[in-house]
Structures are given as C-alpha cells and as structure tokens.
Amino acid sequence: MSERTTAEHAGPLGLVRYASRVGGQGPTAGRTGRRWRALVWVIPGLALVLVFVYYPLVLNFWYSASKLNLFTGELSFVGLDNYTRMANDPVFWRSLVNNVLYAGISVVFQVFFALVLAAVIESQVKSGRWRAALRSIYFLPSAMSLTVTGLLFSFIYQPEGGLLNGILDAVGLDHLQQAWLGNSSTAMLAIIAMSQWQGFGYSTLLFAVAIQRIPNEIYEAASIDGVGPFRQIFTVTIPLIREMTGLMMIVTMSGAFQVFNEVMVMTSGGPDNSTHVLGTWLYRSGFVKNDFGYAAAIAVVIFVITLALAIVQVRYTSRKRVVW
C-alpha cells in the first residue's frame, strides 16, 4: 500500500485534510462480508472517540441554549439568553482578553524566542553532547505537571520567603517587591511568565529536530558564499523551517485558549476576577455558580476559536511544501 503523500508529513491535521479531500472508500478487494468484518479493528477506538469526544460536543451546543442545573437535572430551553448574558458579562470579556494576552506572549517566547534559541544551540554549540544536554535541560519543566510548576511558582511569587522578591532584594531592586499573585495588575503576567518558563523548552526541542533535518549541503553552500555561521541562522535556518514556525504558532495559540490548570492552581481567577481565562470562568460559572447552560455557552466560544485555529492549521499544512 503506497497511500503515503506529502500530507503524511504534515502532522495529524494535514492528514485530516488529505482524508477529507480524497473521501470515499479505501481500495476495494476481497469479499464484502470479510470487509465489513474487518471493521472490528477500528470499532473500539472509533466508538470511544464518537461517544466521549464528538457526542458531548453536539450535546454542548444544545446545553448552551438551555438553563441547566446538573445537580437537580433541571433542563429548559432559553434560546440565546446565555449568549446575550455573555456579551454583557465583563468577566467574560476580561477572560477573553487574558487568553489573547496569553496567546500573544506565548507566541513571542515559545515560538520566536524558542526558534532563535534552537538555531543558536544547533549552530553555535560545537559538541553534540552539549547540544543534547541543553535541549534536554530546557525541556525538563515540560515534563512536570502544571500543578507542580504552578504551585512552585506560587511559592516563588510569595511575598514572604518567595524567591522572586528575594532575588529583587539581593540585586537592590527591593522597591519592586510585591505580592505578585495578590495584586490584580501583576497576577496575570506572573502566571503567563510561569507558563513561558515551563513551555519554551518544549518548542525549542521541536525546532531543534526540524533544524537537524536541514541538509548539511545547504550550510556548506552558504559558507562557500561567505555567509558566517551566525548570519546563516537568519538567512538559511529560519527561512527553511518556516513551516514548522507557522505550525508552532497555531499550536501555541490554540493551547493558550485552553489554559486552565495553572490558573486554577495559582489564583483560581482572583484577585477580583483579574486572572480568569475562558476555561476557569467556564468552570466557575458551571461548577461553582451552578449555571451550566452559561458555562456551555463559554465552551462554544472556546470551541469556535480552537476549531478556527485548527482549520487554519489544516489549510496551512496542506499547502505546497518545501521538499529536499
């Protein structure tokens, strides 16, 4: 079977695009009964995905147009009421803005910074062992749960005995000391900063893998043309992995709209609702305020944003690709 196309190289969503375009059935062979029986291979996985991933998604649309109390089971249709309330809810807008801020800052650190960092490691560090060591060390925080890193940074940001205030004191910037998570003007940025600390190594590792796949001859040609190793980063490496860069931007933004764990652990949305993101506001509206219809409407907003990004990703990865 040689169904492999360039779409195979375009990641999971590239494959979706490929499958959707070709459509229809696979190659036909064998007797019909045999073929249907062969479905047993895919049915367990398919059934689980349909029941636990797709079905709830469909139900969620219905719930978003309902007044729903999951504890009493009350369910009544209210039309667009949840959505009009959402439009007039300042915390909803605040959450959305925080998600956008999250996405913007994450793109800077986990895409652009990580890209340059990966290129610098791969070109400037001569020893292969040191390159591997640096990539692994930077990745380490990504192996830890967001609860652990979130709690760790809550301690780091603490006014009493916290590492950050301690460092500011040690370098003579003690006037900057504050309760980082207790102050509504710094709390959101403090959480986002933690997330960058945790996440930059993950994308650096992926960029490094992409860079290693660039053929050496291209660098040799650049050297012969008199381009130094540092300039090669900007004239060879970065242009040649721009597809990966685009992919990482989309994946990073999509992740930023699904933020939940770190905010729950570090502030639960406080102080004064200043650190709510869509995920935590959904949780609070539903599971704390028992307003599940409204929470379902927030879920629809998350769905629309992440689906839009996924569609951009599918279109992006199915374009003509650089092949070497």
Partner 1 sequence: MSATTATRATGVARADGRRPSTTLDRRAFWHLIGRLLVLGALIGLVIIVIYPMLWMGIGSLKTNTEILSDPFALPASPDLSSYGRAIDRGVGVYFVNSVIVTGASVVFTTLLSAWAAYGLTRVTIPFSRTILMVIVGGLMLAPTVAVIPLVKLLQAWGIYDTYWALILLYTAFRVPFTTFLIRSYMIDLPSSVDEAAFIDGASRAQIFWRITMPMCKPILVSAVVLQILFAWNEFLFALIFVGTESLKTLPVGLATLSSRAVTDYPAVFAGMTIAAVPMIVLFFLSQKYFVRGLADGIGK
Binders of partner 1 in range 25-54 (CB under 8 A): 25-30, 35-36, 38-42, 44-46, 48-54
**Closest C-alpha to 220, from 210, 229, 208:** 229
Pairing type for strands 66-68 and 75-77 reads: antiparallel
Residues binding partner 1: number (CB under 8 A): 116
The yes or no reply on residue 134 touching partner 1 (CB under 8 A) is yes
Which of 184, 261, 273, 290 forms a contact with partner 1 (CB under 8 A)?
261
Which of 95, 106, 110, 154 forms a contact with partner 1 (CB under 8 A)?
154
The yes or no reply on residue 218 touching partner 1 (CB under 8 A) is no
**Closest C-alpha to 285, from 59, 57, 85:** 85
The span of 58-66, 82-90, 96-104, 172-180 binding partner 1 (CB under 8 A) equals 58-66
**Least distance from partner 1 to the Cβ atom of residue 4, Å:** 6
Tell which positions 63-82 bind partner 1, by CB under 8 A: 63, 68, 70
The yes or no reply on residue 234 touching partner 1 (CB under 8 A) is no
Tell which positions 297-316 bind partner 1, by CB under 8 A: 299-300, 302-303, 306-307, 310
Query: Are 297 and 78 in contact, with CB atoms under 8 Å apart?
Result: no
Dist. CA 281–CA 91, nearest whole Å = 8
Q: CB nearer to partner 1: give 236 or 297.
A: 297
**Closest C-alpha to 62, from 292, 306, 226:** 292
Query: Are 188 and 266 in contact, with CB atoms under 8 Å apart?
Result: no
Q: CB nearer to partner 1: give 43 or 224.
A: 43
Dist. CA 92–CA 297, nearest whole Å = 11
**Least distance from partner 1 to the Cβ atom of residue 216, Å:** 19
The yes or no reply on residue 241 touching partner 1 (CB under 8 A) is no
For 66, list phi and psi in degrees, rounded to 5. Answer: -130, 160
The yes or no reply on residue 20 touching partner 1 (CB under 8 A) is yes
- Would you give the end-to-end CA distance of the chain in angstroms? 23
Q: CB nearer to partner 1: give 80 or 133.
A: 133
Which of 144, 173, 176, 288 forms a contact with partner 1 (CB under 8 A)?
144
Q: CB nearer to partner 1: give 209 or 218.
A: 209
**Least distance from partner 1 to the Cβ atom of residue 255, Å:** 10
Tell which positions 102-121 bind partner 1, by CB under 8 A: 117, 120-121
Q: CB nearer to partner 1: give 238 or 299.
A: 299
Which of 276, 282, 284, 318 forms a contact with partner 1 (CB under 8 A)?
282
**Least distance from partner 1 to the Cβ atom of residue 308, Å:** 10
Dist. CA 46–CA 22, nearest whole Å = 20
Query: Are 102 and 198 in contact, with CB atoms under 8 Å apart?
Result: no
The yes or no reply on residue 279 touching partner 1 (CB under 8 A) is yes
The region that residue 11 occupies, defined by phi over 0 for left and psi between -120 and 50 for alpha, beta otherwise, is: left
Q: 203 to each of 212, 247, 258, 322, how far by Cα in Å?
A: 14, 11, 17, 21
The yes or no reply on residue 162 touching partner 1 (CB under 8 A) is yes
The yes or no reply on residue 138 touching partner 1 (CB under 8 A) is yes
Cα within 13 Å of Cα(114), Cβ side: 31
Q: CB nearer to partner 1: give 125 or 218.
A: 125
**Least distance from partner 1 to the Cβ atom of residue 204, Å:** 10
Dist. CA 192–CA 195, nearest whole Å = 5
What are the tokens at 130?
């040191």
